[in-house]
Amino acid sequence: MIEGFMPYYFLRRMDIFGTQISLNYNKDSQYKTYFGGSITAICIVFIAMLCFQTVKTLFEKTSVSFIPSTTYSVEPESIYFDHTKFMIAVQYDQTNFIKRPYYNITFEQRHYHRKTDGTTIKNKTMIPLEPCTLDHFINLPSYGQNWTYTFQLENLQDFLCLKKGSTFQIGGIFENQDFYFLKFAVTKCVNSTASPLNSWNPVCESSSVVQANQNEGSRIRFYLSNNFLNPERAENSITSYIDSILFNVQSGLMYTTANVYLNSQTLITDESILPIPDTNQIDLMQYKLSETWQQTAVGSFDIFCEIYFRRSYYTTVIQKSYLKLVTVISYIGGFSQIFILISAFMGKIIYLNKLVLILHFLQIQQSKEVQWIYSCH
């Protein structure tokens, strides 16, 4: 009687705790097929291979991801460096420069401080250069670099280097309150009294020899310790090498000046394969050829060449990490779910087709039985 009332019908439709009714096939609650078994076997083999390869990659740390970030600043932070971080070697391009130079090369650390009233205080510190030795290079970053071999190959003992043990600073730009930079100047060579404070007290080459050897190829050469980052590499992400810059020098005929910008690069590597980070940070200095600005002027000048080393406007930070265990688990789990869904979907289709065939067969049998009964009457 109650089934005839409308509220009964709607309440029954709203039941979310209804009991599921399942059918058995051949006294088995699951319909299993040859196709499903084949898919299961393939799934197990594939997942086993995937697990082996992925876990191998995980522990060998051959899969790398990285995020580079380059920022531009009109007030670049200062970089401090000594002979263990960065080195500059300089030479007038000639033979026997250390003992018989054609020209004199001087070096200054400069600091310009701009006061609130607009005046600028210029602090100039003359620092003597010294003949390069292996000790000037041996403590530099040496990622894949043999500085002993490079020192001998490039004949760096005939170059002048920044003073070992001194700390130098580059930072800011001219418009900032504080501006730090380095200056190299090429002037006429003048013999001076040997000083125990200077490790370089050469005897100038005669003016006749200098004039005889001056031509369009006369130049000043800089060698810089440099570093290049390859964060996409699992190993050996940093390559150290020596770079060179050349500037033409024509005494009495031309003046050459240039700004050479040095960039700051930081590589932050997460060495851990677990969710707990284990970071390692490496700070490097880098020179790029594209960040060199040169100007020349024709005429007779007392200073033939001035080269300024300044802080670049750009700072590069690279975040590098290896494949994580959580990613591996998620990766394998995702593939497993795909195989399970495919297998379940195909199994369901096969089961429904089989069920339709059985029902169709039963319907035919039932129809034949009904016809037989009528024929008997």
Q: Give the model confidence (pLDDT) of 280-327 as tens digits.
A: 899 999 999 889 999 999 988 889 999 999 999 999 999 998 878 777
Helix (H) and strand (E) counts in the chain: 5, 14
Q: Helix 34-60 vs helix 325-376: angle between axes, to the nearest 10 degrees?
A: 180
Tell me: do 135 and 275 sit in the same domain.
Answer: yes
Q: Which of the residue ranges 124-133, 186-195, 238-247, 361-370 would you say has the lowest mean pLDDT?
A: 361-370
**To the nearest whole percent, how much of the chain has pLDDT over 70?**
78
Q: pLDDT band at 136, cuts 50/70/90?
A: very high
pLDDT at 39 over 80: no
pLDDT of residue 212: 86
Residue 23 lies in a domain: no
Residues 59 and 88 in one domain: no
Hey, is 167 helix, strand or coil? coil
pTM for this prediction: 0.76
Query: Considering its fold, how many domains does the chain have in total?
Result: 2
Q: Are 257 and 330 part of one and the same domain?
A: no
Residues 134 and 100 grouped into a single domain: yes
- Whether 160 is in a domain gets the answer yes
**Would you give the distance in Å from CA 283 to the centre of its chain?**
12
Give the pLDDT mean for 105-117.
Answer: 93
Q: 62 vs 89, which has greater pLDDT?
A: 89
Query: In the prediction, which pLDDT does 334 show?
Result: 72
Shared domain check, 95 and 201? yes
The pLDDT value recorded for residue 21 is 54
| pLDDT for residue 47 | 76
- Which pLDDT belongs to residue 350? 66
pLDDT surpassing 90 at residue 168? yes
Domain range enclosing 310: 72-319
Q: Per-residue b/e over 59-83, b at no fewer than 16 CB within 10 Å?
A: eeeeebebeeeeeeeeebeebebeb
Note whether 93 and 59 are same-domain residues.
Answer: no
Same domain, residue pair 175 and 228: yes
Is 117 found in the same domain as 230? yes
Q: Are residues 101 and 181 in the same domain?
A: yes
Within a domain: residue 273? yes
Q: Of 232, 269, 234, nearest to 57 (Cα)?
A: 234
365 found inside a domain: no
pLDDT of residue 129: 93
Q: Are residues 332 and 186 in the same domain?
A: no
At residue 108, does pLDDT exceed 80?
yes
Is residue 290 a part of any domain in this protein?
yes
Domain contains 370: no
Sequence-distant (≥ 6) Cβ neighbours of residue 175 within 8 angstroms = 74, 114
Q: Could you tell me which of 371, 370, 351 has the C-alpha nearest to residue 359?
A: 351
pLDDT digits (tens, 9 = 90+) for 346-368: 666 666 666 667 666 666 666 65
As to burial, measured by CB atoms within 10 angstroms (0-12 exposed, 13-18 middle, 19+ buried), residue 310 is buried
**Inside any domain, residue 21:** no
Q: Say if residue 4's pLDDT is above 80.
A: no
Can you tell me the mean pLDDT for 11-27? 57
Residues 311 and 335 in one domain: no
Q: Answer whether residue 150 shows pLDDT above 90.
A: yes
* Tokens encoding 265: 């690069």
Does residue 331 or residue 265 have the better pLDDT?
A: 265
What is the rounded average pLDDT of the residues 243-249?
93
User: Of residues 374 and 283, which shows the higher confidence score?
Assistant: 283
Residue 226 lies in a domain: yes
85 lies in the same domain as 222: yes
